[in-house]
Structure 1
Amino acid sequence: MSERNYLLYQLGFTSFFEEQLKENNDLGLDIARITSEHKERYTVKSEYGESEGEVIGNLRFAAESRADFPVVGDWVLVSSYDEGKVLIHKVLKRKNILRRQAVNRESEVQIIAANIDYAFIVESVNRDFSINRFERYITLCYDAGIEPILVLNKSDLINDQELIEIQNTIKQRIANVSLIISSCISNDGISEIEKFINPEKTYCFLGSSGVGKSTLINLISHKEILKTNVISELTQRGKHTTTHRELILLENGGVLIDNPGMREVGIADASKGLDQTFFIITELAHQCKYRDCTHHDEDGCAVIEALNKGELDADSYQNYLKMFKENQHYQSSEIEKKQKGKRLSKHIKQFKNRKDWH
């Protein structure tokens, strides 16, 4: 393997992107990966090192939405124009995108990162712990085709019996997802996280502010890569210092993406993710009397029947209903937005025709 190929391999360059590079090799551009983004200013890493980047005018003007701009994890085609600076000409097709409903922006999606293989979903055992949030993150991951791994951090804050109870609760609600118990104080669970990390693969860390994501990344990398703050004695929460997404290359292989803490994990168009996260409800739904059953109060609903018999967790069911409603609302908003766009295009066309007639 050449030095160039090895460097790209370390950054997560696979045959999926190599084929696209071959298709665009007549452009004479270099391949690079977006490692950080801040207000449409980018840092990219390539075989030649790290550079500052900005998108060219054609890419900017042709963009139909924010999703057409580069995000952390993207592979892009670039050209050098100054020392340590590059122009971004094209974003290669993404293997997947991790996204959520944009905060306070109805029917808009925020892309969190792209081209991810695994997601470490971090929760701490203190008062901020929420199984519902675990299920939300899992849904986003499944919808994107990303394998989720649960990390229950700060296990040193509670006693063994309390920890066992939380573990059992998680296992009852969430099946078929790996669970790691960790502590940044005792280093418990760090080696288990490291076992999941392999060269060529890309990982992201998800969770609320102060759950210990940056500290975990520092421990995994065996050096102080990300800045962290001390834990507040009053709230038992650390202050998360990550203000933007950042891609980190580990010395032993593997690429990590750290994300700012997210208090809101809104569901956009994530039907596939919902079906996979709540697979028990999905299977029961096939037995419902009506195909369009909402599993709320319909006669002949197999989901309600299982709930009444105690065969379905009530809290998980309520969380499913809430996320299902968010998903439907987003889909309805998208349809309405497309219809408005079609009506506007029709009016413009009619106006042009009248103008031509006169």
Structure 2
Amino acid sequence: MNNLCKLGWENSNHSTNLEHLARVITVQKNSYRISDGKMEYLAHLSGKFLNETNSTMDYPAVGDWVEAQKLEEEKKAVIRRVLPRKSQFVRQAAGLKTEAQIVAANMDTVFIVNSLNHDLNVRRIERYVLATYDSGATPVIVLTKKDACSQEEVEAAIATVEEVAIGIPIIAVSSVSKDGVAELMEYLPAGRTVTLLGSSGVGKSTLVNTLLGKEVQDTKEIRESDSRGRHTTTHREMFSLPNGALLIDTPGMRELQLWDGESSIDTTFQDVEQLTTECRFTDCRHDTEPGCRVQEALATGELSEARFESYLKLQRELAYEKRKQNQKAKQDEKSRWKHISKFQKEHYKYHKKR
């Protein structure tokens, strides 16, 4: 049991046969590396799992607890099932296909990483905050490369982020001077799982190396002209910190396309939501209606136009994604019944000939 505690088992809220238990620590295409706290195994999915699983959402992700048959002498394993998740960060997969992609699972906290340079983008932070609340984890904003900025610039950046990350801890760190790292470690106690998320070039890999105290991730320089970086992390991987905390590093996302978040938009935009409740009419569209509290706040500067437009934009995007998902579900159901009907007809013809 002590070995499993190293992987955060005490926070998993599961009861199962510990002999077959392991946690996914690396995912690379169709290859998985799992650990039971004592040994690591190269794992693949069982035939039964592949035959019975229809959705990519059900495939193992980094951070998942799985039931597996372990072959200790060969250091190989067969994954039989994925245990229920307590949290999962989901996004719309890249490309035109309507499909969910799980970035990480069973994390307690998400470090939303942005750098204190040209790449600082509060609209992007809003997206990550929304998706994090929807995941079931707790968000923390981490602003990297503090050493490259003056104290006034750091304070101004934090104040800007505070306007859109209401009530969320914001920590500025430097992987060069280690300033802010001790404060960050307060959110990385033993047995807890934290996921790093953010764009390319914001310093996630460097931060991983700093927290681990050794070079485990490759890092590359960013362009000085626009502070843009290239992907250095090519897969998702979970590391164990010296103090017993668990850290999941992920490749940089060029764009975070939302999959869901309707239930979390009120938390993410609690300032806007509070204003909407103060409107004279309950069905106010916040446009030209008399007594609209939102329009009043916009006129006085209490609420910025950019913040309100972002709120409306994300609502439209979520509604659009929901329509696409519903349409795909209908098409999938239609295809399923078409397949069943074809099978039944062939089965009937076969028995009729006999």
Q: TM-score, normalised on structure 1?
A: 0.88
Change (3 A) 1:311 1:255: same
Count how many residue pairs are aligned between Structure 1 and Structure 2: 348
Question: Among residues 59, 66, 85, which one is paired with 1:69 in the alignment?
Answer: 59
Which letter does structure 1 place at the counterpart of 2:256?
A: V
In structure 1, the residue matched to 2:257 is: 266
Instruction: Give the gaps of 5 or more residues in structure 2.
Output: none
Aligned partners of 1:246, 1:299: CA distance in 2, in Å? Answer: 53
Question: Among residues 6, 13, 27, which one is paired with 1:10 in the alignment?
Answer: 6
Cα distance per residue 1:135-166 (max 9 Å; x no partner): 11111110112111111111222323222222
Q: Is residue 29 of structure 2 the alignment partner of residue 39 of structure 1?
A: yes
Cα distance per residue 1:217-257 (max 9 Å; x no partner): 11111122222224445554554411000000112111000
Question: Among residues 155, 158, 169, which one is paired with 2:146 in the alignment?
Answer: 155
Change (3 A) 1:63 1:347: closer
Aligned partners of 2:81, 2:246: CA distance in 1, in Å? Answer: 22
Question: Among residues 120, 124, 128, which one is paired with 1:129 in the alignment?
Answer: 120
Aligned partners of 1:341, 1:240: CA distance in 2, in Å? Answer: 34
Change (3 A) 1:58 1:297: farther
Q: Secondary structure at the match of 1:173?
A: coil
Q: TM-score, normalised on structure 2?
A: 0.89
Question: Among residues 107, 110, 113, which one is paired with 1:119 in the alignment?
Answer: 110
In structure 1, the residue matched to 2:133 is: 142
Q: Is residue 95 of structure 2 the alignment partner of residue 99 of structure 1?
A: no
Change (3 A) 1:338 1:291: farther
On the 8 A contact 2:69/2:80 being kept in 1, the answer is yes
Deviation at 1:339, TM superposition (A): 2.8
On the 8 A contact 2:133/2:139 being kept in 1, the answer is yes
On the 8 A contact 1:229/1:238 being kept in 2, the answer is yes
Cα distance per residue 1:247-298 (max 9 Å; x no partner): 0011211100000001101112211221111012223333456766665666
Q: Is residue 331 of structure 2 the alignment partner of residue 335 of structure 1?
A: no
1:145-294 equivalences in 2 (<5 Å): 145-233=136-224, 235-288=226-279
On the 8 A contact 1:245/1:259 being kept in 2, the answer is yes
Change (3 A) 1:132 1:291: same
Deviation at 1:299, TM superposition (A): 6.7
On the 8 A contact 1:228/1:239 being kept in 2, the answer is no
Question: Which region of structure 1 is more displaced relative to structure 2, 150-159 or 225-234?
Answer: 225-234
Change (3 A) 1:314 1:233: closer
Q: Is residue 70 of structure 2 the alignment partner of residue 80 of structure 1?
A: yes
Change (3 A) 1:335 1:55: same
Instruction: Give the gaps of 5 or more residues in structure 1.
Output: none
On the 8 A contact 1:17/1:92 being kept in 2, the answer is no
Which letter does structure 2 place at the counterpart of 1:264?
A: E
